[in-house]
Structure 1
């Protein structure tokens, strides 16, 4: 196994903020897709039950399946904390 598949679900809250739920990590894409099928009928998830496909839809709400190679850094830069358009010094 050289990669894993991460499943997350995104929905937009009434005030416009994104809510992202981490669903799980799977050995194969088919196992990730099976997880989506299991959850897609559950409350909340059923409002956006599909895997997001940007080739078909502009809406990013729903399930996201991402492949991550193992033993590799996936965040390679630092970060800053922003409030509005202002950086917060910590």
Structure 2
């Protein structure tokens, strides 16, 4: 099994209507968790990232495996 590690930055939107309203950025895909954590450390020096240091997420993904095994539904927001 081969895995990769995705580093995300996901911060809450300031004018969010719902707690799930976030600004998500895929920072990169790495060959190890250690490399993803090192990338996080590098990003902390930049504006925006340093103001939200606890908003980083490292996700492990198996290569060549489908995600979203079930469908999804859309939710309309007021506006």
Stretches (4+) displaced over 4 A: none
> What's the TM-score, normalizing by structure 2?
0.83
> What's the TM-score, normalizing by structure 1?
0.74
Q: Which residue of 2 aligns with 1:81?
A: 74
CA–CA separation in structure 2 for the residues paired with 1:69 and 1:77: 17
Q: Which residue of 2 aligns with 1:46?
A: 50
Any gaps of 5 or more consecutive residues in structure 2? none
Q: Which residue of 1 aligns with 2:9?
A: 9
Contact map agreement 1:4 1:25 (CA 8 A) in 2: yes
Any gaps of 5 or more consecutive residues in structure 1? 51-61, 86-90
Q: Which residue of 1 aligns with 2:23?
A: 19
